[in-house]
Structure 1
Amino acid sequence: MQQLHRFIKLLFLASITFLLISACNSNAFQNVKPQNQESATSECQIIQHDAGETKICGVPKKVAVLGPHMLDILLSLGIQPAGYAEFSAENIGQPVSEIPVLGDRVNTKPVSLGLRNTPSLEAIVRLKPDLIIGEDFLRQYYSNLSAIAPTVLFSGQENDWKQSIPKIAQIFGREAQAKKIVELYNQKVANLRSELAAVRATYPRVLLFASSELPASIEVRTGNSFSGVLFQELGFDLVLPENYKAAFGEISISLEVLSQLEPDIIIAIVTDYLHEDAMDRVKNVWKQNPLTQLMQASKQGRVYFVNYYTWGSNMRGPIAADIILEETRQILLSLADNS
């Protein structure tokens, strides 16, 4: 009988001990988050962009880049594309060799994703990117793109890259690098503005226009264009036709109207960059046309021809800006002796 009482007592003590241990373990698990869950939360961030906001977890390794503008920005940050959508259909096939200006900066072998305006959703699905990045004119594709991978869209107008590059850099943890890029650009503009002070005092009025085939197409660049903003930052006055309405930073005019303008300097942006003889064709028409030869800038040799891919509306990022600044320096400093 005594042994039975002892057994019951031990059984009771064991039950109490088990309940206490279980309660402690239960409380302990309630206070500890799973390690992988905490890690996943800490690695995610919300990126604000022109089409809304996107949650991105981790640092993207495989990036689908839709267009030369975004490629310009990403390459400036040291980020290489896994897939790429070009500006023109004639560049489809071998993206690296057929990306004008930027191709030699790409050290990957990006998959062709079609055109920047109409990207191939099928090609993007096959790529399986960690991130899709493009311009805000792709809003109509935003839901489809977002179903494939996290997607961010940013404005590429004027100098909007200064506002978008910090957000893009945030995705990759390169905010300090983006800040340095903007600071370096501003410093280069200030330095060149100072260098060109004498030239600007003598030749303050600049005409920027784009053409693929003179005299048929002439589009004067305004202060709402990429190159127009840059020249205004350098302190020059843009020459514009009166009583014309601008669309997307451009004013379409005839050669007759162009010849009536009175700029000190003319910069012709040749848009047909895909054909090697395009530059020579535009130059020859300019030199042979009696209307263009009546302009003082023509008579005095202050007409310069440049490439559209950089100067026009394709890249519009820090790399393009750097190239334009250097080419502007080479072009206009030659006028310093005459100023």
Structure 2
Amino acid sequence: MSNEIEIGRGKRARRVYTFDEIGIVPTRRTRDPELVSTSWTIDAFQFGIPVMGAPMDSVMSPATAIQLGQLGGLGVLNLEGLWTRHENPEPLLEEIARVDDEVAAVKRMRELYSAPIKPELIRDRLAEIRDAGVTVAGALSPHRTAEFTDTVVKAGVDLFVIRGNTVSAEHVSVEGREPLNLKQFIYELDVPVIVGGAATYQSALHLMRTGAAGVLVGFGGGASSTTRATLGIRAPMASAIADVAGARTDYLDESGGRYVHVIADGGLGTSGDLVKAIACGADAVMLGAALARATDAPGRGWHWGQEAHHEDLPRGRRVAVEQIAPLSEIMNGPAHIADGSANLLGALRRAMATSGYSDVKEFQRVDIVHAER
């Protein structure tokens, strides 16, 4: 059955779905939430919860990366952010939070992020996380990866994240600019690599063939992104995750049993979105705005990504987020409001228990329905 629709005589479009348009359906026996496992393993690393903290300065500092690691998740530090450009970014984060005018905020962020990245700060920030005894992960954009890889690896990173709005295994560059050869890069690296974003079956399959341990799914769909407005690009997450999960299954057969993890990245504002992402096929989720709401998040009630201070074409903005609870309560409760913003893991466990599934891998098989909004 085709899911294409005609939007005019000369153009057809594929029907895709957002999280708001789908729901899970309990069809099996129920169980107690205490009998549900939310653990997740990628390469040699096991985590108690399938949650990664997005590498955004408003979300992850060395301290919050450590805290999320101690809660069972994985904090990913932005290695191109304020923490690797400035010795003491705390006053600068406070300054960004105090600026009232949005134009002035963009101007000031551009100034702060124009400072050079210092290799010694990459080393020191990652060492701080490692010394706390949690798994160490850092992220670079594709165009910075080659420049700082040696520094990151020597600093003892456990998981290397290459994250952009979209990452391609077949990037075409202008003459004289050598694109990152992902397949060669991953082959030569001694640590597992998570790469993305991807939003289609084909792009994800290409990334899986590079040897990546995990693929991030999403394209500018987060709360701070304006990619849809500035570039006209949109990838509704429910369909994108299901497409990439399909690529994972086909690649598993193609490669003779190599499993690549699918990580939903973007558009995950509530616990219900987290639940639906895993139901659509994600092995884990990468959270930004959901964690920026923590009272101990470095953004101090504001959330922004790298695109917000792009020198030529900003595709994001600094957005105000309500600070609702400490990070520990956002992850594990207790929740004091019933809007899906706190006790994210409690909600996941209850959804799994209500539909009768005992672990995350099983829960990917839950029935899903589509309902018109």
Q: Taking structure 1 as the reference length, what is the TM-score of the superposition?
A: 0.26
Q: Which structure would you say has the larger Rg?
A: 1
Which one has the bigger helix percentage?
1
TM-score by length of 2: 0.24
Higher relative contact order (CA 8 A, sep 6+): 2
